[in-house]
């Protein structure tokens, strides 16, 4: 009875299989000694594994950093450590950045302290929003570096018309929360206008995006 109750609580999805696939699933299930349902679930688990939470991802990055530091003979060790460290910094922040601190503590302690601070800053950004100084540094790192003329001009125009929600959606920032929305918007608009002027001319001149 307990199994029947548990089965009723499971999600059920009706799937239309193409010709021949049912037989392939049945044959595979028989080879592995599983039911067809278990075989399908196993296949789906491989294609759609559960996403790790932020703490699990950070732990894996830190383990990879420690392993890279121990591998003294690898010629690309320094580059690998730098790349992993940058990834850790991005993961822990929302749009977060290393903040230099002067200290006489040991390097290993400083590294652990830095990881802890990053996690604390990530929590703070999640609760209170991304600080404008962090946004500015991310912009310097190339946050909008791949925007072409069409996207840049359209985003500027949206801001100009007071439709910041559409601009943020276009820039894929609509799910982010800023600690000071007005300062963040002013910074983004200023950067976009400067980028447009440097590459395509006056952003206030008429332009038909995607016309070419």
Write out the chain's pLDDT in tens, 212 residues: 445 555 566 778 888 889 999 999 999 999 989 999 999 988 888 777 766 566 666 666 677 667 666 765 554 466 566 666 776 666 666 654 443 344 444 555 556 566 666 667 777 777 788 888 889 988 998 999 999 999 999 999 999 999 999 999 999 998 888 989 999 999 999 999 999 999 999 999 999 887 76
According to DSSP, the residues that pair with 130 across neighbouring strands are 178
Residue 98: the pLDDT is 41
Domain boundaries, the chain: 16-50, 54-128, 136-199
Burial class (CB in 10 A: 0-12, 13-18, 19+), 120: exposed
What whole-number distance in Å separates Cα of residue 45 and Cα of residue 41? 6
Residue 155: the pLDDT is 96
Name the helix (H) or strand (E) containing 5: helix 2-9
Q: Is 201 helix (H, G, I), strand (E, B) or coil?
A: coil
Residue 202: the pLDDT is 96
């Amino acid at each position: 009875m307990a199994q029947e109750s548990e089965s009723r609580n499971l999600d059920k999805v009706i799937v239309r299989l193409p010709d021949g696939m049912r037989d392939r699933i049945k044959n595979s299930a028989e080879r592995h000694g599983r039911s067809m349902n278990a075989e399908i679930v196993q296949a789906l688990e491989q294609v759609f594994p559960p996403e790790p939470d932020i703490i699990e991802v950070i732990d894996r990055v830190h383990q990879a950093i420690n392993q890279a530091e121990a591998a003294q003979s690898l010629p690309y060790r320094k580059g690998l450590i730098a790349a992993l460290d940058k990834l850790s910094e991005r993961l822990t922040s929302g749009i977060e950045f290393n903040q230099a601190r002067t200290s006489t503590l040991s390097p290993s302690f400083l590294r652990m302290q830095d990881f802890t601070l990053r996690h604390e800053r990530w929590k703070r950004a999640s609760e209170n929003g991304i600080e404008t100084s962090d946004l500015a540094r991310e912009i310097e790192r190339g946050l909008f570096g791949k925007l072409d003329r069409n996207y840049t001009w359209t985003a500027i125009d949206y801001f100009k018309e007071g439709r910041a929600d559409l601009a943020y959606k276009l820039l894929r920032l609509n799910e982010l929360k800023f600690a000071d929305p007005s300062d963040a918007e002013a910074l983004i608009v200023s950067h976009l206008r400067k980028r447009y002027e440097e590459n395509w001319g006056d952003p206030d001149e008429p332009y038909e995006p995607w016309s070419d």
